[in-house]
Amino acid sequence: MLPDLERKILRVLYNYASQHHRIPTMHGLEIMTGRKSQPIRNALLILEKERYIEWEDKSNLETIKIIEGWERETEANKSPAPKMSARYWTDY
């Protein structure tokens, strides 16, 4: 499970890239997340370490490639399947 900032940045990157066909600038990420550049840079490094993004040239955000745009589901954050019984279909 990703921490809040990393999850937020991943969603911002994915949504921005899908709408604008490019990665936002650092200034844009600062505005969209309300954070300074150093915490954003640290979060990007964590996303790279966790293999959500690839980031070859650390001096340029445009080189970021999104591998997974959504947080991975683990057993801990999966919601249980609803239990259905025959009563639902037979009792009105």
CATH 3.10.450.50 assigned to domain 4-72? The reply is: no
Phi, psi of 50 (to 5 degrees): -85, 0
The residues that bridge with 44 in the sheet, in sequence order, are: none
Has residue 87 got a pLDDT over 70?
no
Alpha-carbon span 43 to 14, nearest angstrom? 15
**pLDDT for the residue numbered 30:** 96
The domain spans of the chain are 4-72
Residue-wise pLDDT for 25-72, tens only, equals 999 999 999 999 999 999 999 999 999 999 999 999 999 999 998 888
**pLDDT for the residue numbered 48:** 95
**pLDDT for the residue numbered 72:** 83
**Which pTM does this prediction carry?**
0.78
Has residue 88 got a pLDDT over 80?
no
Which DSSP category does 22 fall into?
Answer: S
Helix axis angle, 37-49 to 4-20, nearest 10°: 90
Name the pLDDT band for 81 (thresholds 50, 70, 90). low
**pLDDT for the residue numbered 91:** 66
Spatial contact of 41 and 25, defined as CB atoms under 8 Å apart: no
